[in-house]
Homo-oligomer: A and B are copies of this chain.
Amino acid sequence: MSERIEINEVSPRDGLQMEKAFVPTENKIAYVDALSACGFARIEVTSYTSPKAIPTLADADAVMAGIRRVPSVRYTALVPNLRGMERAVEGRPDEINLVMSVSETHNRANLRMTREQSLAGLQDVLREAGKLGLPCNVSLSTAFGCPFEGEIAQAEVLRLAQALADSGAAGITACDTTGMAHPEQVRQLSTVLQQQLQIPVTIHLHNTRGMGLANALAAYGAGIRRFDAASGGLGGCPYAPGASGNVSTEELVHMFDSMGCETGVDVDKLLEVVGTLSGLVGRPVTSQLAQAGTRLRRYAPPAWLAEKFPHA
């Protein structure tokens, strides 16, 4: 269990894009800087989507320019298309993250394109990024199920992942966008993706039905060592109203820590940052782990105990 698990903290992008209130640019920068001190392998800082589509991240340029970079962290940003990539390059990300859905209906609803159009567009970005030597990861949404279509065929995930790998993707992320994955499915898809692809596979989980950490455990058992997660479990999906957010980073790190696995993330520092989230987003953010404390948190025994058992 000595191989390091790489955590990609996605809350600055995947979390904040879902918030109703615009988080001031300087607060976003301070938040990313605080995360940088926690020991993450990667931080997804922002998105170069059109400000009209996602106004909450309209300040992508300013945020990328304002953060203080720690050499051990790779700073990534989401890029929707060639135009977004051109903007992104100015921000000097260490890598970029592209996205499309495995489900045709979800791709149309979320990206307003067919999968064919999305694939062609991402292949354009991969080609141009390749010329610049900029590594591109591709996130495949709804890889474990779609809230419109239901089950998603594993063969479709593999087909798209392979096409993107062949076009130069540096990594593939299989996303459980609305928390439909179960451990056996995660084990299977993790296994075949790693068997088929020559590039690293990341798993992106949501905790919608309580299975977030169980799915992470199944992925780990299948050899996965890269995970997306969002502090405080921020995020969600606009097309599945009951859906809760991403698997919470602090709980993921705490589980792997407890098991003796190395993540590089300091859970106590991270819990301090999690304590600032409600202030950051302007609504109460409940973190189960922050409330309970880490597993070895000690309580004082009741005061009457010493009286009742004087010779203890």
Report A's interface with B, CB cutoff 8 A.
Answer: 105, 108-109, 112, 114, 145, 147-151, 179-185, 207-214, 216-218, 221, 239-244, 248, 251, 254-255, 258-260, 288-289, 291-302, 305, 308-309, 312
Contacts and interface: CB of A to CB of B under 8 A. Distances in A.
Contacts of A214: 213-214, 216-217, 255
A211 B250 CA distance: 12
Contact of A296 (B180, B183, B208): B180
Contacts of A213: 210-211, 213-214
Contacts of A241: 299
A150 B308 contact: no
A295 B217 contact: no
B251 A299 contact: no
A148 B303 CA distance: 12
Interchain residue pairs A-B with the least CB separation, the first 3:
A182-B258, A210-B251, A213-B214
23 contacts: A105-B301, A108-B309, A109-B302, A109-B305, A112-B308, A147-B297, A148-B298, A148-B299, A148-B301, A179-B295, A180-B296, A181-B295, A184-B260, A208-B288, A209-B254, A210-B254, A210-B255, A213-B213, A213-B214, A214-B214, A214-B255, A239-B301, A244-B292
Contacts of A295: 145, 179-182, 209
Nearest to A146: B298
A248 B218 CA distance: 20
Contacts of A294: 209
A251 B210 CA distance: 6
Nearest to A308: B112
A108 B305 contact: yes
Contact of A242 (B105, B210, B255, B291): B291
Contacts of A216: 214
A145 B109 CA distance: 47
Given A210-B255, A212-B210, A255-B182, A240 B288 contact: no
A244 B309 contact: no
A183 B297 contact: no
Contacts of A308: 108, 112
B147 A209 contact: no
Given A184-B259, A218-B217, A255-B214, A242 B208 contact: no
Contacts of A184: 258-260
Contacts of A292: 179, 208-209, 240, 242-244
Nearest to A208: B292
User: Which of A108, A289, A299, A308 is packed against the most chain B CB atoms within 10 Å?
Assistant: A299
B259 A145 contact: no
User: Which of A217, A260, A293, A305 is packed against the most chain B CB atoms within 10 Å?
Assistant: A217
